[in-house]
Amino acid sequence: MAAHPLAGQPAPADRLVALPRLMADYYTSPASAPVAFGTSGHRGSSFSGSFNENHVAAAAQATAEHRRQAGCRGPLFLGFDTHALSEAAFRTALEVLAAHGVVVHIHQGGEYTPTPVISYLIIDHNRRRPEALADGLIITPSHNPPQDGGIKYNPPHGGPADVEVARWIENRANALMDDPGAIKKMPYSRALKAETTRPVDFIRPFVRALGEVVDLKAVKAAGLKLGADPLGGSGVRFWEPIAEEWGLDITVVNKIVDPTFSFMTLDGDGAIRMDCSSPYAMASLIKVGGDFDLAFGNDPDFDRHGIVSGGELMNPNHYLAAAIDYLLRHRPGWPDGAGIGKTLVSSSIIDRVVEGCGRRVYETPVGFKWFVEGLARGSLLFGGEESAGASFLKMDGSTWTTDKDGFCMTLLGAEIMARTGQAPHELYKKLAERYGDSYYRRLDSDLKDGEKDALKTIDAARLIGAACAGRRIVDAYTAAPGNQAPIGGLKVVLDDGSWFAMRPSGTEPKMKLYAESFSGRETWAAMTAEAPGLVFG
């Protein structure tokens, strides 16, 4: 699809969200949609009645009930990002949690909290206090547009809730939505002063521990000039303490926090979206990227990363491949026998890199929750998604976070430069020369009637041996090879290693078509043109 005429341009005034109406709808609009946990929690907008006070209160009480049943006697870490609905939802959640007597740790001073910080705090607490397990709630719709809100639960393992836990909370929340009188809450002013509400410094513990996962001493010694763009997100006030603690030269190129995100350039579809993997959304940083040895951006909850190397935004798959190759060659403390986690729609160059380093690939459906257990137990060294989200073990092989961490992934780019003298894009270029260059791109289209059901019932085996883009199909499957979990769609592999995958979006009425060609852009174009007919024809 062609980019919107205003893609990459500053957001016009008429595209900014009407904050008074958005907030009024949060408190007064009827709920026209249920609580629905997708790939990472419940998301929606008060404009559409899919994210309002009732949704959040119900989800918070369901969480309180679940953690009590699960025996979580430690604190619940509660954080929120910079979306307008996030602060309102934070207050609603605290009203409910306090009324249920849950000990809640919040960031002192009303500060925003990145997703990886919550994950780190949960893991760190539970390592020290296993008899009083902690968990967390994060109020964020990730990189979604300014009018959206979201809430996600991280159990004691620190990562996104698995399918079973998410379904329990979702079902209980929807039962409460049908009986709002059963929701117990107290006024925010009382909840904030409750004995169970404990303001804590979330910044310093995380900042001081960063040197355990990334070699920041090497970055300091190299004297690299780094540029960081928080994209108005929750990590905006983390970069200066990181620079101070570790003696790094980091310039925060944009310190603005504005819930309309008026400083953003429009994404490829003309929407305001804080997607740090999009060259359109990252246009402002790319413009000044040449002023730094390395520049990087993050989405509002800082679980994604965007790397500007050599003055251009790296393809997320390319950076994942470069990061994995580097880490497997520079982490002698990592355990033998452990593998690398990747989603099945990530680049197959990752498979080739991992095999070249003598490790195994663990391929899963879309969603970081599939990597949580492996990262927690050390059976996975690294887990990464094609959508620019990843995390990895500490240098000694212990767990860092079990949720995506945009801090460690961006600072890793600086470590790569400091220790190899190569920029991340230069490292990837060498990998492409060794393992083959590819053309990778995703196409989104409106979800047509019957397509979702057709993917659920498709006989993938019937496609094997058929032709696509002039090549033979050698494999087709609907369950991920790593864990045999249903992928919610289909992946098809050609005889040269090229592939395509189709799955409906978990958050929008869209069909996503991913494709990677190892035989040039023309093969990619042919694959994407023929794929719908092969699957639905």
Cα–chain-centroid distance for residue 504?
18
**Kind plus residue range of the DSSP H or E element containing 117:** helix 115-128
Give all strands of the β-sheet with 312-313 in edge-to-edge order: 249-252, 225-229, 294-298, 305-309, 312-313
Classify 494 as helix, strand or coil: strand
* 309 noted as active-site residue: no
DSSP labels, 424-487: HHHHHHHHHHHH---EEEEEEEEPPTTHHHHHHH--GGGGTT-EETTEEEEEEEEE-TTT--EE
- Identify the CA nearest to 385 among candidates 399, 407, 369: 369
What tokens appear for 164 in the block?
């079973």
Label residues 347-356 b or e (16+ Cβ within 10 Å = b).
bbbbbbbbee
- Identify the CA nearest to 255 among candidates 283, 216, 227: 227
Question: CA-to-CA distance for 466 and 6, rounded, in angstroms?
Answer: 41
Cα–chain-centroid distance for residue 534?
31
Note whether 393 and 364 are within 8 A (CB): no
Label residues 304-337 b or e (16+ Cβ within 10 Å = b).
bbbbbbeeebbbbbbbbbbbbbbbbeebeebeee
Label residues 242-259 b or e (16+ Cβ within 10 Å = b).
bbeebebbbebbbeebeb
What tokens appear for 249 in the block?
């030269």
Question: Cα 528–534–535 angle (5° rounding)?
Answer: 95
How many CB atoms neighbour CB 364 within 10 A? 25
Question: CA-to-CA distance for 210 and 405, rounded, in angstroms?
Answer: 11
What tokens appear for 151 in the block?
């809430």
How many CB atoms neighbour CB 13 within 10 A? 8
What tokens appear for 153 in the block?
């639960």
How many CB atoms neighbour CB 143 within 10 A? 25
The amino acid sitting at 272 is I
Note whether 358 and 468 are within 8 A (CB): no
Note whether 114 and 235 are within 8 A (CB): yes
In degrees and rounded to multiples of 5, residue 27 shows phi and psi of -90, -20
Catalytic residue, chosen from 46, 142, 277, 438, is: 142
Q: Provide the annotated active-site residues.
A: 142
